[in-house]
Amino acid sequence: MNRNPRPTFLEFFAGGGMARIGLGNGWTCAFANDFDPVKAATYRANFGADEGHFQQGDVFALSAETLPTADLAWASSPCQDFSLAGARAGLAGGKSSAFFGFWTLMKAMSAEERAPPVIVIENVVGLLTSHHGDDFNALCGALSQEGYRFGAVEIDASAFVPQSRPRVFVIATRLPTAGLEGASGFHSRAIREAAARLPEDLKAHWIWWGVPSPPARNTDLAAMLEPDTAVTWNPPERTEALLALMALSHRQAVEARIQAGGRSVGAVFRRMRGGQQRAEVRFDGLAGCLRTPRGGSSRQTLLVIDEGRVRSRLLTPREGARLMGLPDSYQLPASQTSGLQVVGDGVAVPAVRWLAETLLEPLVYSKTASLAAE
């Protein structure tokens, strides 16, 4: 077992390293992996000083014998098959099945009696209901078979940054959990229903993690934006076309802000409603969930109303990075499309930091204290 005062972790499906940034300098990354060349290049650009631990390639090609022993394994496996926007193929889906590559490694490390005592699996909320809950049951069953107790929380990034981005974090452990169980505002209805659907033998291994709620967020979407003079705006005719796609209620919301004067910033998505393409705007100070730039409907647009003038433009990669909680020092790919791909596929940094501070670190440090007492 690791006796280093800084706990170590393995980061699978690492992307641009956002889980690593969220865990923070109090942790040591012992190994990281991602298949995507753009994300791998971004990871190396930001953590190049110790890039030797990073291995680009298919998770199925990794060998447990080459993985270092660590305190935690983090897996943000591809989520398309769980997403409400996807085909919902579940754990058997082509992309989300990458989870099985990760789990094969965990089982092999367990057989060697050196599996990480804490595992975090992060995914979209659709994981809880995919195939009527069967996929979540299967995940919990796999954890149970390897001696882990487990629980889940649903954390929306909007608790920390002005972006609506709900995600499920399944936290499994073999360690004592005294003082870490209890009520939590992150026990969403979807979490409670998923736990209730578990077979009785798996319910016996369920943990209600007592993750506290963070202080109220004090930033909004407008605070994340670049100066108006530093960005490219859509031509007026494109903005008019966007407004024309809005249903009456959304157009009325725009008109109300025009009449009120001042400055308002809204986030716009294009969606299919009843077989028609619609533009939907929100003025609640939040961006919609960032997505990867695959197809026009996934590109988030900003609508800015300033003293009666209405303009629109696309969200920039740097603004997207800020909405993920990344510092401006974070190096993004030169290509806008690649930059949006990296941030759109990531995990919100402050959500990881909160989970680490309130749950993961107490878990790991309690293990270290137990070892020191032996």
pTM score above 0.85: yes
Helix, strand, coil percent values for the chain (each to nearest 5): 40, 20, 40
Whether residue 145 sits in one domain with residue 203: yes
Whether residue 162 sits in one domain with residue 254: no
Does residue 221 form part of some domain?
A: no
How far are the Cα atoms of 43, 196, 293, 342 from residue 351, in angstroms, in the given order? 19, 25, 23, 17
CA torsion 43-46-52-58 (nearest 10°) is: 0
Whether residue 97 sits in one domain with residue 22: yes
Residue 56 has φ and ψ, to the nearest 5°, of -85, 135
Q: Which residues pair with 276 in a beta bridge?
A: 273
Q: What is the pLDDT of residue 284?
A: 96
Are 48 and 28 within 8 A, CB to CB?
A: no
Burial of residue 152 (number of CB atoms within 10 Å: 0-12, 13-18, 19+): buried
Q: What is the pLDDT along the chain (374 residues), one digit of tens a residue?
A: 444 579 999 999 999 999 999 999 999 999 999 999 999 999 999 998 565 689 999 999 999 999 999 999 999 987 666 554 455 566 666 655 788 889 999 999 999 999 999 999 999 999 999 989 999 999 999 999 999 999 999 999 999 999 999 999 999 999 999 999 999 999 999 999 999 999 999 999 999 999 999 999 999 999 999 999 999 999 999 999 999 999 999 999 999 999 999 999 999 988 888 888 999 999 999 999 998 876 444 578 999 999 999 999 999 999 999 999 999 999 999 999 999 999 999 999 999 999 999 999 999 998 654 544 44
Does residue 26 form part of some domain?
A: yes
Q: What is the pLDDT of residue 94?
A: 62
Whether residue 18 sits in one domain with residue 114: yes
The catalytic position among 29, 79, 140, 289 is: 79
DSSP designation for 229: G
Q: Which residues pair with 119 in a beta bridge?
A: 73, 172
| DSSP H or E stretch at residue 363 | helix 361-373
Whether residue 159 sits in one domain with residue 67: yes
Pairing state between β 8-12 and 72-75: parallel
Whether residue 193 sits in one domain with residue 280: no
* 288 vs 224: CA distance, rounded Å: 13
Whether residue 351 sits in one domain with residue 300: no
* 99 vs 11: CA distance, rounded Å: 13
Residue matched to tokens 């903005």: 239
Single-letter amino acid, residue 188: S
Which domain does 252 fall in, by range? 227-315
Query: 79 catalytic, yes or no?
Result: yes
Q: What is the count of structural domains for the chain?
A: 2
Q: Alpha helix locations (H) across 33-97?
A: 37-46
* 62 vs 102: CA distance, rounded Å: 9
Q: Which residues pair with 299 in a beta bridge?
A: none
Are 168 and 143 within 8 A, CB to CB?
A: no
Tell me the three state secondary structure of residue 167.
strand
DSSP designation for 359: I
Residue 97, Cα to own-chain centre: how many angstroms? 18
Whether residue 206 sits in one domain with residue 107: yes
Single-letter amino acid, residue 126: G
Whether residue 186 sits in one domain with residue 43: yes
Whether residue 238 sits in one domain with residue 358: no
Whether residue 244 sits in one domain with residue 129: no
